[in-house]
Structure formats: C-alpha cells, structure tokens
Amino acid sequence: MRFLASAPRGFGDLLAAELAGLGAQEVRERALGVDFTGPLEVAYRACLESRLASRVYLEVARVRAASADELYAALRALPWHEHVDPAGTLACDFSGRHPAIHHTRYGAQRVKDAICDPLRERFGQRPDVALTRPSVRVHAHANGADVTVSIDLAGEGLHRRGYRTVAGEAPLRENVAAGILLRAGWPQLAAEGAALLDPMCGSGTIVIEAALIAAGRAPNLERDYFGFTGWRGHDAALWERLRAAARARIRTPEQGAEPRLRGSDIDVRAIRAADDNARRAGVAEWVAFTQAPLAAARPVAPRGLLCTNPPYGVRLEDQESARALHRELGAVLREHFTGWRAAVITGAPQLGLEMGLRAARTHTVWNGAIECRLLRFDVEPASRHDFRRPRSSPIDPALRDTPGARMFANRLAKNAKRLGDWAAKSGVTCYRVYDADMPEYAFAIDLYTAADSPTRWAYVQEYAAPREIELEAVRRRRGEALSVLPEVLGLPVDRIHVRMRRRMARGQQYAKEAGQGEFHVVAEAGLRLRVNFTDYLDTGLFLDHRITRARLRAAAARRRFLNLFAYTGSATVYAAAGRARATTSVDLSRTYLDWARENLALNALTGRQHRFVQADCREWLAEAARLNERFDLIFLDPPTFSNSKRMQGVHDVQRDHPVLIEACMGVLAPGGLLVFSTNAQKFRLEPALADIYVVEDISAATIPEDFARNPHIHRCFEIRAR
C-alpha cells in the first residue's frame, strides 16, 4: 500500500526517520509530508505511535481530470463500496490547485457526489455527510489536472492526543511540542536519566510530551477516534494486537524517586490544567507541576533540558515586555543552568537576541499557521554573548541635524502641509500623514485631534525592517526620524506615541499591549469616537475605512444592520447615525464590545434596538441562520488571521473568506447588501464567488486621499444575491 503522512512544517526529516523506524519502506520526504509504502500495519503504527504525524493518508487512486465533470467520472468509476459503508457517514476534502476547480468546497462536493451516487444506485442508500468524526474521510489533492485521492486514516489531526481539554493562551500543538523535544535530543537525554524543566509551562504540553517519550508510551494510545475504524478495509484484530503491544512497552518511573520532569507557571489555573492533562495522558507519576515565577526556576539535576514556549504573538505583543521576559529567561539560564541544554521556540525571532546566549542551532518550524524559530542552546560560559546595543531614548534631539534626519523632516513637512490643507477643507481631523514614503524610514504616522479641543497626538507605527538590514542601521534611521517629529509636527514629546508594527507573516496577529486605560475622544464626520494610544497596537479607529463607514451610513436608513468582527463598533456608530432600524454587533472580545457600547453612548445612540453579542462570528452566523434571522445590510471585516483561545480553530481570511461570505449570504435579507473588507495585503477574492453572487470591487473608491500612496491598504467588495 502507498501512504502519505503529513507533519508540522519544519519536522519532515524527523517524521521520515520516525516512519522508517516503524517499518515504512520507500520513505521519501515531500513538500506536503512523507511518502512511504508498506502493509497496513505500518500505517496503523504511524497513527498510534508517531509523535510527529498530523495525518496519515492511504492512497486509493491517482486520476487525471482537466474538468470537474472529468473528475466526477474518474472517481465515480472507483470501487467505493470496498471503502465506504452506505449506512455510515462521510466527509470529503479537496485541496491544491486545479485548472477548473477554483473553490475547494465545490471540489469537495464533486468528490462527495462521485462517491455517493454509485453507492445509492447499488445499495439504495448513501452515507450521510458528517463534518466531524465521520466513518470515512476522503481527501482529494490536485496538482494541476493530476488528482490524488486518499482515505484519511487519522480522521482528524493526530496532534489531538485526547489528554488536553484545556489549553493555555498560546497553545503549542502536541506534535509540535514532540518535534521540538526530538530536535533537542530529549530521547537520548531521557534514557541517560537527565531532567527536564519548562518554566513557563502553561497547560503542560511540553512536559507531558516529554513524559510520553520517557515512558515509551504511544502518544495516541488513549485516543478514542481514528478515521480507519469506520473504513471497510479496517483490520480490527490487527489494530488490537498493535495497541496491546504498545501497552506492553510502557515503562514506569523508578519507585519512590522524585519526578525529573517538571513544569512551572505563574498562573495557578494553568498548573491545575497541566495536572489534569498529565493525569489523562497517563503520565502523572512522571511529572510535577508547581506555581512559580520564571525567576524562581532552578535545575533539579546536574544535566537536563530546559524547553519552553515563551509568550509571544497572541499572548504577549508588547515589544518591551517581550524583550524583558526574554532577557529574564536568558539571565536565569546563564546564572543557574550551566551544563544544561535549552530549547526555546519563539514566534518573534528577534527576541532570541535578548537572551544573551549564542544559539548552537536555529530551526524554522511552524506551530499551526504561525512561523516560529526554534533556538537550541548549550548553556556554557563560552555561549554567552550580548547581541544588544546600547539603546537611546525614543526621541533623541541630538540626531535632528544629521543629513538623514533633515531629509526625512523635509518629506514629512511637505506631506503635513499638503495633507493638512486637504484635511482642513474636507473636515477630516484624524488622518495619515506619512506611510513609508521613503522606504528606509519605514513608519506609518497618523495625526489625531481631540473632539472638544485643539489637542493633537501623533501615533507612530514602525514597520520592522527586513532581516538583511543591519540592526545598527535600523536603529540609526529610527533615531533620525523620531528626533524631528516634535519640530515638524509641532507636538510635545509626551503626545507622540511610538509602536513597533511588524509586517505580519501569515499566521500571526496582534493583541493587547498594556493596561493603562487612557482613552481620548476624537471626531469623525460629526461623530464622536474613543481612541487609545497606549494599550493596543491599533488605536480603535481604522482610518483607512473612513469612506467605507460613510457608505454604510448612507445605506443604513431603515435597515437592519449587522456588524461582524465589530471591533470597537465604529461602523455600528455610523449605521446607527444613518437611522438604521436596528444594529447587531458581534465580536469575540468583551473589551471591544464594551468599547463599542461606549462609542454609541457618546453619540446618544442607545436603546434596545442596538444589540451587542460576544461570540465567535462563524458559530453565531450558523445559529442565526438556524433561527431564521435576517439583516438588510451586513459589514464583514474579519481579521487577516486569528487564533484566539476562545475561537474554535484558526481563522485565515484568504482561506476562509468564501465560507464566511456564504454564511453571511445565508442571513442576508432579499435585496440586502453585504460589504466585505479585508486588510490582507495579498488578498485574492475566490473567483467562484462571482459566479454565485453579484460582486463589485469598490476598493479604489474606498481608499481615502491620505492613503492614496498605499492603494493596497485594504480590499473592499459589495456583494448581493443574484
């Protein structure tokens, strides 16, 4: 039989070696995973014992089909009765790039029809569709006109071991944690009796995976669902023999010995979750979790591995706080863990420089959709190295007479004059005055004016420089640019707020930065809105959506308005001011919904007709459709990416926008309008949507004058039913 096993990106070589150790033959690492051949036993062992595999696919056929109809015909001819029980359940997936199938849901639909139609004709019934835990999951992957069709033997991601019911705020997938441990040499260290510590353990994933390795325990031994159990080719006797053999190989810790595998965290709730997870994983005797701050971390043995996933991205975005935490981790390692190894995974690679240790090896790995760096250290005196440079204050007046500073000042002054005149004529009081006009000075600078006074603020966002630019050059240009801001903008230093804004890789998002709670009220189009310059990377008011909000206001009269991913509710304020009959604002964040309420109250727009719902928008849309709720005007402005701990799964706007749009159209009233907007820089609307709905690209018409230098700042579409 021929199989494909997928793995988290960055661990393909380890998976290939692991599969070879399980008896796989003709093992070849591919872009999407690892190809291998062998009897069914090898695939079962991969599902049961692989610490790295995400899924295991059994290849059923390879077909060539230039059109959707050809694909249907080719798949219909396959003997599906050998694989699928007509009385069972079925799910179908479609991926890759096909010359005629541009919508993965449509591709999956054609695959499903090709399976169900001949079964209905032959047996008089067909399997029901089940999106979760089906009897059989069929996967079709297109590489041009060549399509590979497989049975998903895992059924759902093999990283779901079954022991983790509660995860931390920045959960590390179980097979990623295992991959980090394997990459760091933990199996050999464990066999030699070394210790392990995760001083920021969260729900304990790294420690538990380390214990599974030390105990020789198959990671999916307690898992209660696999995709092959409902497959007609399933060999139940073979599977039970393999499970029994895996149980017989489990080792137990030394009688009476203190656990060598430890985790600590400052959050007592995380420690409780870690204890529960370890118990469910069957390794409670191997591990110990304690509540303690990072600074209290100490080794429990002369040799060992400190392995951790420090807060980054979703859990901690503030750059200074993140730098301080990594400096503290580096200090703890240097002062107390000499002779140990360390493995640190971070989604913000530059933070590794703050640790004051030279990495022995660096690996690029992925945790879900998030690109990360795995830094491996040998903690010895020779590995100590201070990569940091002395930092100047954010605004250093001594730099303002340098040639670079004067060049930047001239450009900013010209922009400020031109756009200031435009803003005064247009009645705009909050606008962008500079947006990386000179690439070497990569800043976005916005000016905000208070609603009730001439007080102004500058909000300065610095885009992180490409890695190939010398750090010293980046700091010099930053200092030059910031030094002239008070002079050119006529603002005191305390009203200039500077933030670092990375150009986000796919799979990253921003979050709350601080907690000062200092809000100001600004005006836009006669409306009052609250902004915050200190607590969040964004102020609460997206200036590039100014025209879009005005269009919503003009379209809202006597309509039922729905604002999805409502953020701080500025679009809702506009719709309510446009005499909307009712408004509904849906967001996952209670903080943002409270902010939205306050924005409406600032404009005396209160009452029971304005509804605020804290929910995952995707789940809420499904429930609204079930309840037959209808809206005449919908604004859909999802984040580019989100993996909030409260959201089921990961949201990626490029991948998920067709599903979101279809769900919105399911609650759109006849004659209604959906306005879809995204700030994803390389966004491409699914072409098949234009075949189903009336789609008008209004991006160019919604880019304000102050953003004209960056016409790709957002994409915006009006969508109606045909």
Host H or E run for residue 414:
helix 403-426
Mean pLDDT of 202-217: 96
The answer on pLDDT for 495 being more than 50 is yes
Strands 136-143 and 33-37: unpaired
pLDDT digit string (tens) for 19-74? 999 999 999 998 778 999 999 999 999 999 999 999 999 999 999 999 999 999 99
Q: Per the structure block, which two tokens stand in for 628?
A: 């037959």
Q: Distance (Å, rounded) from C-alpha 148 to C-alpha 94? A: 10
Residue corresponding to tokens 């979790």: 289
What are the residue ranges of helices labelled H in 427-470? none
Delineate the domains of the chain, giving CATH numbers in brackets: 2-152 (3.30.2130.30), 174-216+254-383 (3.40.50.150), 397-501 (3.30.750.80), 528-721 (3.40.50.150)
What are the C-alpha distances in Å from 605 to residues 574, 578, 635, 658, 681?
Answer: 10, 11, 19, 33, 34
Q: When comparing pLDDT for 643 and 711, which is higher? A: 711
The answer on pLDDT for 271 being more than 50 is yes
pLDDT digit string (tens) for 645-672? 444 455 688 888 999 999 999 999 999 9
Q: Distance (Å, rounded) from C-alpha 690 to C-alpha 661? A: 12
The answer on pLDDT for 389 being more than 70 is no
- Cβ 34 vs Cβ 28: under 8 Å: yes
Using a pLDDT cut of 90, give the percent of the chain over it: 73
Per residue, the 3-state secondary structure of 574-626, as one string, reads HHHHCCCCEEEEEECCHHHHHHHHHHHHHCCCCCCCEEEEECCHHHHHHHHHH
Mean pLDDT of 232-240: 97
pLDDT at position 312, please? 59
The answer on pLDDT for 338 being more than 80 is yes
Confidence label for 644 from pLDDT (cuts 50, 70 and 90): very low
The answer on pLDDT for 609 being more than 80 is yes
Q: What are the phi and psi torsion angles at 561 (to 5°)?
A: -105, 135
Q: 701-705: list long-range contacts, CB under 8 Å, 24+ apart.
A: 701/547, 702/545, 702/547, 702/548, 702/551, 702/677, 703/544, 703/547, 704/428, 704/431, 704/543, 704/544, 704/546, 704/547, 705/419, 705/422, 705/426
Concatenating the DSSP letter of every residue in 233-302 gives: T--HHHHHHHHHHHHHT---PPTTPPPSEEEEES-HHHHHHHHHHHHHHT-GGGEEEEE--GGG---SSS
Q: Distance (Å, rounded) from C-alpha 528 to C-alpha 455? A: 15
Using a pLDDT cut of 70, give the percent of the chain over it: 91
Neighbours of 557 (CB within 10 A): 13
pLDDT at position 514, please? 40
Q: Distance (Å, rounded) from C-alpha 148 to C-alpha 141? A: 5
pLDDT at position 79, please? 96
Q: Distance (Å, rounded) from C-alpha 407 to C-alpha 410? A: 5
Q: Distance (Å, rounded) from C-alpha 279 to C-alpha 287? A: 10
pLDDT at position 645, please? 41
The answer on pLDDT for 391 being more than 70 is no
Mean pLDDT of 391-419: 84
Neighbours of 675 (CB within 10 A): 21
pLDDT at position 184, please? 96
The answer on pLDDT for 326 being more than 90 is no
Q: When comparing pLDDT for 368 and 478, which is higher? A: 478
pLDDT at position 85, please? 96
The answer on pLDDT for 472 being more than 50 is yes
pLDDT at position 313, please? 42
The answer on pLDDT for 319 being more than 70 is no
Q: Distance (Å, rounded) from C-alpha 489 to C-alpha 508? A: 33
pLDDT at position 440, please? 86
pLDDT at position 230, please? 96
Q: Distance (Å, rounded) from C-alpha 607 to C-alpha 164? A: 42
Q: Distance (Å, rounded) from C-alpha 514 to C-alpha 537? A: 9
The answer on pLDDT for 516 being more than 50 is no
Q: What is the pTM of this model?
A: 0.60
Lowest mean pLDDT among 11-25, 335-349, 454-468: 454-468
What are the C-alpha distances in Å from 117 to residues 90, 296, 340, 346?
Answer: 13, 64, 61, 49
Answer left, alpha or beta for residue 339, where phi above 0 means left and psi between -120 and 50 means alpha: left
Q: When comparing pLDDT for 131 and 685, which is higher? A: 685
Mean pLDDT of 311-339: 75
pLDDT at position 504, please? 39
Host H or E run for residue 344:
strand 341-346
pLDDT at position 171, please? 74
Lowest mean pLDDT among 303-317, 346-360, 476-490: 303-317
Q: When comparing pLDDT for 225 and 388, which is higher? A: 225
pLDDT at position 17, please? 96
Lowest mean pLDDT among 124-138, 226-240, 319-333: 319-333
Q: When comparing pLDDT for 699 and 441, which is higher? A: 699
The answer on pLDDT for 535 being more than 90 is no
pLDDT at position 330, please? 92
Sign of CA dihedral 623, 626, 631, 635: positive
Mean pLDDT of 501-511: 40
Q: Distance (Å, rounded) from C-alpha 17 to C-alpha 29? A: 10
- Cβ 408 vs Cβ 434: under 8 Å: no
Confidence label for 83 from pLDDT (cuts 50, 70 and 90): very high
* CA-based nearest residue to 547, from 700, 416, 445, 415: 700
Neighbours of 335 (CB within 10 A): 10
The answer on pLDDT for 332 being more than 90 is yes
Q: When comparing pLDDT for 515 and 718, which is higher? A: 718
Mean pLDDT of the chain: 89
